[in-house]
Amino acid sequence: MPNKTQQIVNLLAENSSELEKLFPGEFDKGIQLISGSILTRSHFLPFSPEFPVLIELQPEGLDIQQLKNLLLLNYSVETRACVLQELDNLNIAWILTTISEINLIDHPIRAIFIPAGNSGSSLEGFMDIIARLRAPDGCPWDRKQTHASLRPYLLEETYEALDALDRGDLVDLKEELGDILLQIALHAQIASENGDFTITEVLAAISNKIVSRHPHVFGDVSVRDDRDVVKNWEKLKEIERAENGRDQSKGLLDGIPTTLPALSQAQVIQDRAARVGFDWPEIAPVVDKVMEELQEVKNASTEKERAGELGDLLFAVVNLIRWYRVDAESALRQTNQKFRRRFAYLEEHSKSTGKDLPKMTLEEMDALWEEAKRLEE
């Protein structure tokens, strides 16, 4: 009895002529052969949308709605597809449709053919583009980059993605995530050229880490809630450090990057400490600590002392924010944006009335500020 691969090959060989008419030139690009039984165990497509694919289905196999949902993770609803259906007279025929409509086919489906998508729409295709940029006859700017020279761009692109998140602009977020991916790809390509590591090793390392640190998903460990997940995560990290022979003298806080923004750094420090029980049992003393630090700011007798107490106050406020499960950095960025919008309203009013802001009274500016608040509501 032929194996799955041979069955798919036979299916394609017996029914390819009509496909070639519908999609001329597609077979010149090569073709991926996939058994539908593989997809029953998948949560993401195990093939590249950059090349044509033939998916062989068994009558009792994958649910078509389930397959459609899986395909829509990588393809748009308008993507063309060709379905090989079994007709009432036991004949089979191809029908041209779209991925969004494959679940509407009346007859049993034997196979689904999807033509190649856009070039660069897979990780492999994207990495080929990056390697081409870094090739001897590639782009002079990209060829001269190093890990160090790219550092500012990685930081800048990350902040631009955060800005898109704060604004809720998903179109911008899509673009900014692509810019971050570009930085990751460039670093991986440079490392590969230097013989340090490859993008495949990057993917393998993070995949292994995620699987090993989620035994409640990929193993038989039981957890009650997200707090149990965090506790397990820390225990597994300790085991990994021991197995890798890393310095066991390092403390829990030593791995926190000092380059993080101060608010983010404070929150991560507090999160790490809380994981081992160094935390208030309830929120009331957290609020009391904020008020205590505020009073100490008022009581400071020197500028140096006051600066230190202000730092303690900020740290206590971040802890309060953490207790409310809010990201301190994001909260402050949102407030910054809110202030900028409202202050811009003051400036616009100043230009329209011809009265400069410095010549306005505080009462006039405050009235405009309240007006800007009402307009936002």
What is the predicted pLDDT for the residue at 1? 44
What is the overall mean pLDDT for the chain? 87
Cα–Cα dist 103/96, whole Å: 13
Helix (H, G, I), strand (E, B) or coil at 41: coil
Question: DSSP assignment of 82-106, as one string?
Answer: EEEEE-TTS-EEEEEEEGGGGGG-S
The CATH architecture annotation of domain 4-114 reads 2-Layer Sandwich (3.30)
Contact 271, 326 (CB under 8 A): no
Q: Which two tokens stand for residue 263?
A: 């608010």
Burial track 292-313 (b if 16+ CB lie within 10 A, e otherwise):
ebbebbeeeeeeeeeeebeebb
Per domain, the residue ranges of the chain are 4-114, 123-212, 262-326, 329-376
- Beta-sheet pairing, 53-56 with 109-114: antiparallel
Q: What are phi and psi of 330, to 5 degrees?
A: -65, -40
Cα–Cα dist 80/113, whole Å: 9
Homologous superfamily in CATH for domain 123-212 = MazG-like (1.10.287.1080)
- Going from the C-alpha of 1 to that of each of 4, 6, 54, 140, the distances in angstroms are 10, 9, 21, 56
Cα–Cα dist 2/207, whole Å: 33
Q: Which two tokens stand for residue 356?
A: 């400069």
Instruction: Quickly count helices (H) and strands (E) in the chain.
Output: 16, 5
The total of other beta-carbon atoms located within 10 Å of residue 36's CB is: 21
Q: What stretch of H or E contains 159?
A: helix 147-167
The per-residue pLDDT string of the chain (377 residues; one tens digit each, 9 = 90 and over) reads 456 556 556 666 666 677 778 888 887 778 888 888 888 888 888 888 888 998 888 766 668 888 898 999 889 889 999 988 887 766 778 889 999 998 888 888 888 999 988 777 889 889 999 999 999 999 999 999 999 999 989 989 998 998 898 888 999 999 999 999 999 999 999 999 999 999 999 999 999 989 888 888 888 888 777 777 777 777 777 777 666 666 566 777 887 888 888 999 999 999 989 888 899 999 999 999 999 999 999 999 999 999 999 999 999 999 999 999 999 988 998 899 899 999 999 999 888 888 888 888 999 999 999 999 998 87
Q: In what order do the strands lie in the sheet with 53-56?
A: 32-35, 53-56, 109-114, 80-86, 92-98
pLDDT (tens digit, 9 = 90+) per residue, 221-258? 887 777 777 777 777 777 776 666 665 667 778 878 88
Model pTM above 0.75: no
Contact 196, 205 (CB under 8 A): no
Do the domains at 123-212 and 262-326 have one common CATH topology? yes
What is the predicted pLDDT for the residue at 142? 96
What is the predicted pLDDT for the residue at 24? 83
| Domain 262-326 CATH class label | mainly alpha
What is the predicted pLDDT for the residue at 196? 96
Q: Long-range contact list for 123-131, CB < 8 A, 24+ apart?
A: 123/199, 124/48, 124/50, 125/48, 125/50, 126/181, 126/185, 127/185, 127/188, 127/189, 127/199, 130/182, 130/185, 130/186, 130/189, 131/189
DSSP 226: H
- CA-closest candidate to residue 19, choices 102, 99, 106, 83: 83
Q: Which two tokens stand for residue 247?
A: 């310095």
Cα–Cα dist 138/285, whole Å: 60
